[in-house]
A and B are shown apart, each in its own frame.
Chain A
Amino acid sequence: MLAGLALAGLLGSSPATAASGEDWPGYLDYAYIYQAADREAMQARLDRYASSAGRSLEAYLAKEIEWRAESGESLGDDDRRRLAIGRFLLYRSTGNRSELDAAIAALRGSSAANERPEQRYWLRTLRAHQALERREASTFTRQLFDLWVEVILPLEETRSTYASVSLDSGPRAGFVSALPYLYENLSRLILIRTQQMGVDWDLDALGSIVRMLHAGRVGRHPDLIPADRSSRSYLERVIARLDGAESDGGSLTFTLALFEASKLHDRARATVAEEGLSDAALNAHRVAVGAYRKAFARARTLQGQTAVTVRALRQLGEMAVAQQRSGATVEIDSPFSVTEALKLYQAMHAGLRGGWEQFGYRDQGREAFVTALRGLWQEIQESAFNTADLHFSRGIASADKGPRKADREFAEAARIFSEYLAAFERYAEPVALEGLPATAYFAAHEAARGVADATALYGDRGQSSIQSARVAALYQRALDLYPFDPRLWASFAGALQGSGRERDFLSRTATLSGIVARARVLDDWIEHSRPEAQSLGSMRQAIADPHARIYLGLADAEALTEIEDNLVALRERDQTLRQREGVLAAGTDDAELPQVSSSRARSDLREQGRRLAELRARATELEQQIATAERTLPVFREALGATPIADAMRIERDHPVHELVRDLYYETHRFESPAKAAARR
């Protein structure tokens, strides 16, 4: 136990924990405790020990060991081992490969190399590092397998024997007590060092050791290696990833490559957050793209390709948002794109009809496959929208720099939205509705609207009626997918006006109105007071009423006051008419007519009667107008005042109304043939 405490002290990084007066042999014999430190930490540690020992490591090795070897003296095993460890530590602190070669040369010829676990441990460790330097993945794997069989298993067996007499820890346990550190070193060597050295292929067989380290070895001795200094949590994440849905059929090579890429992505993201789109941030993103490209190349299954693509698309989307915020334009060459991701989605989508096990999800099951498929779509959607929004905003911003530049941006925005919309139409089929996330349906509405907006703004020199007709059709499609945004009705009516078809407004919205009025899912939603039921109810009432629909199409919140003023004027006019009607009626009482004898008087009376009838007709018309306005205005007012659900849905993936929009889509389309659906559209 005392030795354990001493080891724990050595592991600590505080200079205070290094004892004063200790010379290098003590530090070297316990180097397995700190051998995995990174270059800077190792250099600092060696400096600290040099200060304590009163001489540098190089000076110790030269003065105490190497000069004897140079003078022809045969070195003992302890000296050989210390020399090897010393050179190895110098290699770790400087990266100088010749130090590693010198370390291996020092152990060569050691008489005990084939027997003592400690000697063998260092030999195998040094050779494993050498294999990494030489980029020899298979040699690296072999060295670690040998290390396991020649060092770990015998030590564990000895520890098991010692444990039966309570001697498995403490100074008398010898190198057995180093086991927790050896596990830790092995774990770091495989999980971290391989990636640092760029050896990221042919590592799958090492999954066996990684799993054995995870099974009760690494992290089992928090008294010696505190949790925050152990690789346990990283190891757990690696195992979870190996066995999880973001694996590549369980490939360790792939999992490590993807972890490495994700780390670089996180770093790039942090740099952008700190510095904006600085050169350093852009370089960091380029490095992350390169790492994702490499991870993608390592993937042997669609499962692995999906896991990489999802992250790479997220990165594309983040870059688009950063550019939109900063107004900067940057070029990052990436093999990942919405178009490529849609090809991958197509391949994955085929698995819904069978064969998904072949894609890598055999161990995780069909549900994991479907979740991954939806996740891929979600990222395609968000990346597409972020990029399209970027182009759209650039188009708006560059309107004053000449129509050509703005048009290029609007055209690109329209292309991306169209690509999404076309893919949606392809995959939103009732037989395989599980392939899309609930957000896809509202997103399709957004895409249709996005194409319409971009097309409407394309060509600053005025729109042709054909262009307006196309815009109107797109707005209509957007309304079909999500009719609850009052702003869109006005856009649709405006586009119809532009193409000279405003008279078609009511007829072209009649079918949608009927669907909304009769939709069972909407009934159910409102009846059960589910989220936003009140707002949805208000909009449904407005859409179902032809007069309110006209208001939706032709008026907005500002116009509401105007309509209300008009209603007051109508009422005043009605009152005036009724007064005049009363006066006229009094003068043309039928009972008095026979008493009027002159033809002139009769003619006047007839004229008054005609005017009275006219006034009555106008009064009736006004009454109807007032009645209609009085009935419809509150409906329209309520619809306009309803919560703008669309704004919240745009930013909330889990907004509950996404489900309603999806269900409404399927209620509408379930029994329709594609031809009928096209005709309805």
Chain B
Amino acid sequence: MTTAPTLSKSHFDRPSSWILAAMASIAALQMACAGSLGGPDQYARSEITAPTESSQETALAKPASLRRGLEDLAAFHATATVLRRHNDAAGTAALRRFLQRTSSSYLSGLSRPSSGREQQELISLRANLLLSEASVWRELGDRRELRRVRRELSRRFSSMDDLPVEFPIGVATTLGGALEDLHPDQGRL
């Protein structure tokens, strides 16, 4: 039959040094291929490329993480809607703090573009991620955070008004249309 662990698990808390070294090499290789050590945080139209074999392989994990981020934000959105409809002020405040922490420790990293050229799919996913976050902030009635995300969207995706996105969640539109809708004068806020 199977055996119980015989080593204390603390031995495994950190990956061994050779793994870390290998990972560092892979990361360095990726950055070198992209021709830059620090990525821009603003997209220009010329940076959107069709997927190539090599970029597909290295970016394999990114769309999955972004999609998970989108799913998580959908969970936030559904919950925020319930709390708003029930006028649950305490619940809304708790969820707002939770989203703030999630945004700063996790979502902000996901929405930040990686170095080099990115596929259209990734750019679209990142824009959708920010828009989803904006949807949740709007649902939570937080003007300040909504403005922050809107600013970020305008800055990162300037001149990409025709980018197909979903806003609010599940409704197809363009980025320009979504930004217009996100204006603080629009909508529930």
Contacts and interface: CB of A to CB of B under 8 A. Distances in A.
Given A16-B1, A164-B26, A249-B82, A138 B90 contact: yes
A208 B85 contact: no
Given A29-B9, A141-B94, A165-B26, A153 B86 contact: no
B52 interface: no
B65 A160 contact: yes
B61 A208 contact: no
Interface string A134-177: 00001001100100110001101100111111010001111100
A10 B95 contact: no
B91 interface: yes
B91 A204 contact: yes
B11 to A, nearest CB: 8
Q: How large is the interface on B (under 10, 10 to 19, 20 to 34, 35 or more residues)?
A: 35 or more
B187 interface: no
A250 B76 CA distance: 13
Given A22-B6, A26-B4, A29-B5, A118 B13 contact: yes
Contacts of B4: 6, 9-10, 18-19, 22, 26-27, 30, 52
Nearest to B70: A215
A30 B9 CA distance: 8
A153 B68 CA distance: 11
Contact of B86 (A78, A160, A174, A204): A204
B188 interface: no
B18 to A, nearest CB: 10
B90 A202 contact: yes
A7 B83 CA distance: 39
Interface string B40-83: 00000000000000000000110011001001101110110111
Contacts of A624: none
B6 A204 contact: no
A152 to B, nearest CB: 10
B186 interface: no
A421 B85 CA distance: 37
Q: How large is the interface on A (under 10, 10 to 19, 20 to 34, 35 or more residues)?
A: 35 or more
B183 interface: no
A386 interface: no
B23 interface: yes
B6 A26 contact: yes
Interface string A382-409: 0000000000000000000000000000
A295 to B, nearest CB: 15
Interface in B2-33: 2-10, 12-16, 19, 22-23, 26
A366 B171 CA distance: 21
A300 B90 CA distance: 16
Given A157-B106, A167-B19, A205-B91, A3 B5 contact: yes
Nearest to B30: A164
A6 B101 contact: no
Contacts of A145: 94, 97-98, 101
A208 B9 contact: no
Contact of A249 (B85, B92, B97, B105): B85
Interface centre among B19, B22, B61, B98 (most CB of A within 10 A): B98
A30 B5 contact: yes
A256 to B, nearest CB: 13
B102 interface: yes
A583 interface: no
Given A138-B94, A145-B97, A162-B15, A207 B82 contact: yes
A498 interface: no
B15 A174 contact: yes
B10 A6 contact: no
A194 B79 CA distance: 18
B78 A211 contact: yes
Contacts of B3: 6, 9, 19
A165 B19 contact: yes
Nearest to A161: B23
B97 to A, nearest CB: 7
A216 interface: yes
B88 interface: yes
Given A22-B6, A165-B23, A9 B13 contact: no
Contact of A204 (B12, B22, B60, B88): B88
Interface of A: 3, 5-10, 12, 16-19, 22, 25-27, 29-30, 52, 78, 116, 118, 138, 141-142, 145, 148-149, 153-154, 156-157, 160-165, 167, 171-175, 202, 204-205, 207-212, 215-216, 249-252, 300, 362
Given A145-B94, A209-B75, A212-B71, 4 more contacts: A118-B13, A148-B98, A207-B75, A216-B71
14 contacts: A7-B5, A25-B8, A26-B4, A138-B90, A157-B109, A175-B12, A175-B13, A204-B83, A204-B88, A205-B79, A205-B94, A212-B72, A212-B75, A250-B79
Interface of B: 1-10, 12-16, 19, 22-23, 26, 60-61, 64-65, 68, 71-72, 74-76, 78-79, 81-83, 85-86, 88, 90-92, 94-95, 97-98, 101-102, 105-106, 109
